[in-house]
């Protein structure tokens, strides 16, 4: 069969585009190299919905960031994803840094960012009391926010799937070829045909363009790794706003920010790496991250770190997003070089992608049967006591706490497994409901989650994995008793 549109890459760019397209009468598919959506940069970033003062006026980054930031609160509501409009501060530590703040406010005003203000260090500390006494002045951007990036991506994919989009996982597209007037994505002997293809392959998007015959593709992608530390809830300073230092030629620099789930995140640094898959974390990297974080918020401490991670930026050699139909391959649309602010931009970038596909000849007839929301998720820990009691009476599985650190119930885990794009391993459960995200990092709840997965998916415990094939958690030869301790 031939799809109307095939999207290559299941990060926020691909999934948000699939979400938009699923509102039309179209046959849409998404091919993803990994075994889940949100496995690239979308899984490991700062989660900031930037206000839009950083991007150079006139660029696609500026345009999509400002529009995306404006749409994000409503989109997060429709997709039932945690979002918080907490605002952000860019801090200057001396008079010498004031021209940087001045340039940012001017850029922001040109980009159409509302409410920007340069405030004194004193006022900045009123806005964010954990801030260093050495902060001299700051740019206050009240429209900035935070979101859960992988949940946003999973939710967009889930709604697309609910509306009929087919997802092909473990499908690394080697190249796109033309055959009999169609485009065909080839992956190790398997093929998916479509009339239009969207290249949203993140750090590998330029490589895919070249492998498909665009040897003269005008953008190179430079992979740049950013390392992070995640701090324990309730420990250390209670940071409520996103706090940046002044940007440099290496980017926005190390920040300290709350997460929508109540932790504090510190990072990222920025180092060029050889591979787009290099998400390793080094002790030197973490030292750099804490040194940068402490300068802004002196109370942050590596003692409070519960985990670390890294993401790889798909930095385009041109400096801007490359959002254009292929000059060589009719029907192929490139969404390439989507580095920061790609998350914040995703609501607007996906609208632009659909518009471009329309201009390329895709018929866009709205589907009145499509539902652009997903059924609300029960977040047990956020309910009032009376609501919890009612819920447990209706469904006793919500009365069984599986993850004690994050207060996640069996009912929530079952729901995560049963939804479209449902969880099939421990890490998928973790990204969908936070079981294993807390202080013990799954030390207590993993055996119980594995048992639930085994029972619900009807697979032996020995086949349950942490993150896909090769990460089985019970050695094959001890499978026989089918029990896990803990």
Positions in the binding site for ligand FAD (CB under 6 A): 8-14, 31-34, 39-42, 45-48, 50, 172-173, 200-204, 208, 226, 268, 311-313, 338-344
Active-site option among 50, 188, 271, 351: 50
Output the smallest distance, CB 309 to ligand FAD, in A: 9
The encoded tokens of residue 362 equal 């895709």
Q: Name the closest residue to ligand FAD (Cβ).
A: 342
Q: Are 142 and 84 in contact (CB under 8 A)?
A: no
Output the smallest distance, CB 325 to ligand FAD, in A: 17
Is the Cβ of residue 348 or residue 378 nearer to ligand FAD in the bound state?
A: 348
Is the Cβ of residue 55 or residue 378 nearer to ligand FAD in the bound state?
A: 55
The encoded tokens of residue 293 equal 């974080």
Is the Cβ of residue 289 or residue 437 nearer to ligand FAD in the bound state?
A: 289
Q: If residue 293 lies in a helix (H) or strand (E), which one and from where to where?
A: helix 283-296
Reference 17, options 367, 422, 347; nearest CA is 347
Backbone Cα Rg of the chain: 23
Residues 178 and 107: their CA atoms lie apart, in Å, by 43
Query: Can you say whether the dihedral through the CA atoms of 119, 120, 121, 127 is positive or negative?
Result: negative
Backbone phi and psi for residue 439, each to the nearest 5 degrees, phi listed first: -55, -40
Is the Cβ of residue 19 or residue 380 nearer to ligand FAD in the bound state?
A: 19
Q: Are 244 and 128 in contact (CB under 8 A)?
A: no
Is the Cβ of residue 41 or residue 137 nearer to ligand FAD in the bound state?
A: 41
Residues 470 and 35: their CA atoms lie apart, in Å, by 12
Output the smallest distance, CB 286 to ligand FAD, in A: 14
Listed in sequence order, the residues at least 6 apart from 404 whose beta carbon sits closer than 8 Å to its beta carbon are: 438, 440, 444, 445
300 three-state secondary structure? coil
The encoded tokens of residue 455 equal 């029972």
Output the smallest distance, CB 112 to ligand FAD, in A: 17
Helices (H), 41-191: 60-78, 98-111, 121-127, 149-162
Backbone phi and psi for residue 302, each to the nearest 5 degrees, phi listed first: -65, -15
Reference 81, options 376, 314, 318; nearest CA is 376
417 three-state secondary structure? helix
Q: Are 195 and 21 in contact (CB under 8 A)?
A: no
Output the smallest distance, CB 335 to ligand FAD, in A: 7
3-state helix, strand, coil in the chain (%, to 5): 35, 25, 40
Assess whether 50 carries a catalytic annotation: yes
Output the smallest distance, CB 456 to ligand FAD, in A: 25
Output the smallest distance, CB 388 to ligand FAD, in A: 33
Output the smallest distance, CB 145 to ligand FAD, in A: 10
Is the Cβ of residue 79 or residue 452 nearer to ligand FAD in the bound state?
A: 79
Reference 135, options 238, 46, 54, 246; nearest CA is 246
Helices (H), 222-282: none
Tokens 């974390």 belong to which residue?
Answer: 281
Is the Cβ of residue 244 or residue 398 nearer to ligand FAD in the bound state?
A: 244
Output the smallest distance, CB 8 to ligand FAD, in A: 5
**Cα angle: 73, vertex 74, 77; to 5 degrees:** 90
Is the Cβ of residue 334 or residue 374 nearer to ligand FAD in the bound state?
A: 334
Is the Cβ of residue 223 or residue 438 nearer to ligand FAD in the bound state?
A: 223
What is the 3-class SS of 446-482, one letter each residue? HHHHHHHHHHHHCCCHHHCECCCCCCECCCHHHHHHC
Residues classed as catalytic: 50
């Amino acid at each position: 069969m031939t799809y109307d549109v095939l999207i290559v890459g299941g990060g926020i760019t691909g999934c948000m585009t699939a979400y938009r397209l699923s509102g039309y009468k179209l046959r849409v598919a998404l091919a993803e190299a990994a075994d889940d959506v949100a496995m690239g940069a979308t899984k490991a970033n700062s989660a900031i919905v930037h206000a839009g003062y950083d991007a150079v006026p006139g660029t696609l980054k500026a345009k999509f960031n400002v529009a995306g930031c404006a749409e994000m609160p409503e989109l997060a509501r429709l997709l039932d994803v945690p979002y918080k409009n907490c605002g952000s501060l860019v801090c200057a530590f001396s008079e010498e840094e004031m021209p940087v703040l001045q340039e940012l406010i001017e850029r922001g005003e040109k980009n159409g960012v509302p409410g920007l203000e340069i405030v004194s260090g004193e006022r900045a500390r009123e806005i964010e009391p954990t801030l260093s006494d050495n902060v001299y002045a700051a740019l206050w951007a009240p429209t900035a926010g935070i979101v859960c990036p992988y949940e946003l991506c999973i939710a967009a994919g889930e709604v697309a799937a609910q509306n009929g989009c087919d997802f092909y996982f473990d499908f690394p597209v080697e190249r796109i070829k033309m055959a009999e007037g169609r485009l065909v994505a080839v992956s190790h002997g398997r093929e998916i045909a479509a009339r239009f293809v969207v290249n949203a392959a993140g750090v590998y998007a330029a490589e895919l363009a070249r492998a498909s015959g665009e040897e003269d593709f005008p953008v190179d992608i430079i992979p740049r790794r950013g390392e992070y530390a995640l701090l324990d809830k309730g420990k250390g300073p209670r940071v409520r706003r996103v706090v940046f230092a002044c940007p440099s030629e290496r980017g926005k620099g190390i920040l300290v920010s709350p997460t929508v789930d109540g932790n504090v995140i510190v990072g990222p640094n920025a180092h060029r790496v050889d591979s787009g898959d290099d998400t390793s974390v080094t002790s030197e990297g973490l030292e750099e991250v804490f040194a940068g974080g402490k300068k802004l918020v002196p109370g942050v401490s590596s003692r409070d770190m519960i985990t670390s991670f890294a993401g790889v930026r798909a930095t385009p050699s041109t400096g801007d997003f490359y959002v254009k139909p292929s000059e060589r391959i009719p029907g192929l649309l490139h969404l390439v070089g989507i580095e920061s602010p790609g998350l914040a931009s995703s609501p607007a970038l996906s609208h632009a992608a659909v518009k471009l596909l329309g201009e390329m000849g895709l018929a866009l007839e709205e589907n009145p049967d499509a539902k652009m929301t997903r059924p609300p998720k029960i977040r047990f820990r956020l309910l009032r006591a009376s609501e919890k009691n009612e819920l447990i009476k209706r469904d006793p599985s919500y009365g069984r706490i599986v993850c004690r650190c994050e207060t996640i119930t069996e009912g929530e885990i079952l729901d995560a497994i049963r939804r479209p794009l449902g969880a099939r391993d421990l890490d998928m459960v973790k990204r969908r409901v936070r079981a294993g995200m807390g202080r013990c990092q799954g030390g207590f709840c993993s055996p119980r989650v594995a048992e639930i997965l085994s029972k619900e998916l009807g697979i032996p415990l020995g086949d349950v994995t942490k993150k896909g094939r090769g990460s089985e958690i019970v050695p094959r030869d001890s499978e026989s008793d089918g029990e896990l301790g803990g």
